[in-house]
């Protein structure tokens, strides 16, 4: 059974992976707080000396640890997302880890969403981004994910590491439900208020189910002869605007879930 270290395993995405990958791999955690029932190293992800022991005997790393908000101020982005990502790749290299799955984000190309605004979620928008789409971050958080992808490419080329960058869309704790009472949010990349209705359309385009998330990570961990790749982490939603073709071609992965169109009775022809 392959030994897999998950950084940030106590977070939203990490906790979902622990639930769904249990039994398939020998899982370990690098976290800020111990994970009950799991071998855990508690350390600051940016402290290379402190995290290095967690990588001993590990065959693959799933790197999730980061400040996850698009509104994260620069000092936190720098420490957690940039210095932390470097420390993880370097610790993996020193330990001889052969695979790293890096949690990138849709915000690495979020500038296209900002430019298109709500037109992007329309069934007839005619926009489809793929792994060759020029990176276009929408925030300093997005910049940090572009950095992580570039760093992964370097470690792949320079040290022969297999690196899979997953541009994750939107993993909800409540799956397809928006919180009760939520009327809208202030969205920093667009710098304006997004209504609950707009959020419902965005979720219908961006949703990544817990099962599809685990399936994509599992496909990366099982992959062979793939040195580097960028893949979109999104369920097979009718409104999605990211291509999944290379995930199928390289990894044999395709999502099984799909978010229905808002309103229930809407169709793509409307």
Q: Is position 259 within any domain? A: no
Residues in the chain: 270
Extended beta strands in the chain, E state: 3-7, 26-31, 39-42, 60-63, 99-105, 162-168, 184-187, 192-195, 228-233
Confidence category of residue 252, pLDDT binned at 50, 70, 90: very high
Q: Is position 256 within any domain? A: no
Q: Is position 264 within any domain? A: no
Q: Is position 269 within any domain? A: no
Among residues 218, 250, 231, the alpha carbon closest in space to that of 169 is found at 231
Return the pLDDT at 194: 75
Across the chain, mean pLDDT equals: 90
Indicate which residue of 121, 141, 164, 231 is catalytic: 141
pLDDT in tens, 17-30: 999 999 999 999 99
Q: Is position 242 within any domain? A: yes
Domain containing residue 211: CATH number:
3.40.50.720
Percent of the chain with pLDDT over 70: 91
pLDDT in tens, 166-222: 999 999 888 887 777 777 777 777 677 777 778 888 889 999 999 999 999 999 999
Q: Which two tokens stand for residue 119?
A: 């037109």
Q: Is position 263 within any domain? A: no
Which residue is associated with the tokens 């695979």? 99
Residues 6+ apart with CB under 8 A from 248: 254
What's the whole-model pTM score? 0.93
Domain of residue 61, residue span: 3-251
Domain count, the chain: 1
Whether 121 sits among the annotated catalytic residues: the reply is: no
Contact of 93 with 229, CB cutoff 8 Å: no
Q: Is the pLDDT of residue 62 over 80?
A: yes
Return the pLDDT at 86: 98
Q: Which two tokens stand for residue 31?
A: 């976290």
Q: Is the pLDDT of residue 119 over 70?
A: no
Q: Is position 97 within any domain? A: yes
Return the pLDDT at 266: 44
Q: Is position 268 within any domain? A: no
Percent of the chain with pLDDT over 90: 72
């Amino acid at each position: 059974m392959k030994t897999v270290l998950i950084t940030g395993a106590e977070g939203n995405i990490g906790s979902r992976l622990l639930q769904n990958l249990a039994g398939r791999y020998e899982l370990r955690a690098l976290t800020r707080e111990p994970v009950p029932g799991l071998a855990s190293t508690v350390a600051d992800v940016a402290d290379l000396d402190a995290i290095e022991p967690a990588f001993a005997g590990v065959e693959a790393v799933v790197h999730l640890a980061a400040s996850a908000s698009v509104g994260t101020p620069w000092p936190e982005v720098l420490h957690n997302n940039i210095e932390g990502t470097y420390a993880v790749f370097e610790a993996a290299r020193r330990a001889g880890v052969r695979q790293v799955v890096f949690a990138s984000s849709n915000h690495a190309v979020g500038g296209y969403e900002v430019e298109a605004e709500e037109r992007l979620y329309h069934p007839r928008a005619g926009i489809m981004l793929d792994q060759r789409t020029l990176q276009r971050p929408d925030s300093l958080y997005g910049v940090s994910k572009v950095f992580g992808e570039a760093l992964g490419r370097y470690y792949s080329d320079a040290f022969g590491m297999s690196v899979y960058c997953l541009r994750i869309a939107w993993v909800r704790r409540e799956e397809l439900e928006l919180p009760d009472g939520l009327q809208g949010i202030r969205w920093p990349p667009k710098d304006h208020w997004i209504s609950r209705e707009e959020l419902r359309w965005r979720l219908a385009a961006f949703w990544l189910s817990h099962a599809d998330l685990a399936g994509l990570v599992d496909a990366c961990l099982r992959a062979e002869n793939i040195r580097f790749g960028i893949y979109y982490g999104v369920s097979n939603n009718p409104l999605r605007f990211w291509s999944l073709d290379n995930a199928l071609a390289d990894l044999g992965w395709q999502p099984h879930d799909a978010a229905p169109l808002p309103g229930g009775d809407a169709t793509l022809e409307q």
